[in-house]
């Protein structure tokens, strides 16, 4: 197959030296090394919109925990058993959703 497309990549001098060094060790020119690296690269995806939503909710629950902690200092832990149990369950559900994906 004829290669008729090009891709220009900006990089630092250090990145270029690293790529050239890796290509040399592999017995390839930098262009061929880049092609092979691109075919086998493992890229970690960014957070999905659902993950971002869940993390925002988790931050809100952290705020709730802070407020409950202040209330516990004023009224005692016994007063907060049920709200704390619900908060723990909510946090657990969100963490499960985050790690399910």
How far apart are alpha carbons 64 and 83 in whole angstroms? Answer: 10
Q: Which sequence spans correspond to the domains of the chain?
A: 1-43, 49-100
CA 10 to chain centre: 24
Please list the pLDDT of the chain residue by residue as tens digits (101 residues): 898 999 898 999 999 999 999 999 999 999 999 899 999 988 887 888 888 888 898 899 888 888 888 888 888 878 888 888 888 898 898 888 888 75
Which pLDDT belongs to residue 75? 86
Which pLDDT belongs to residue 44? 81
Three-state secondary-structure class, residue 46:
coil
Which pLDDT belongs to residue 101? 57
Over the range 33-65, which residues count as b (16 or more CB within 10 Å of their CB) and which as e? bbeeeeeeeeeeeeeeeeeeebeebbeebeeee
Q: Which of 16, 94, 18, 5 is nearest to 58 (CA)?
A: 94
Q: Which of 61, 65, 69, 66 is nearest to 97 (CA)?
A: 61
């Amino acid at each position: 197959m004829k290669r008729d497309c090009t891709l220009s990549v900006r990089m630092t001098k250090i990145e270029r030296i690293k790529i050239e060094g890796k290509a040399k060790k592999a017995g390839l020119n930098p262009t061929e090394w880049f092609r092979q690296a691109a075919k086998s690269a493992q890229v970690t995806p960014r957070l999905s919109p659902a993950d971002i939503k869940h993390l925002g909710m988790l931050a809100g629950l952290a705020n709730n925990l802070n407020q409950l902690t202040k209330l516990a200092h004023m009224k005692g832990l016994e007063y907060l058993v049920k709200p704390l149990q619900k908060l723990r369950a909510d946090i657990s559900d969100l963490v499960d959703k985050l790690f399910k994906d």
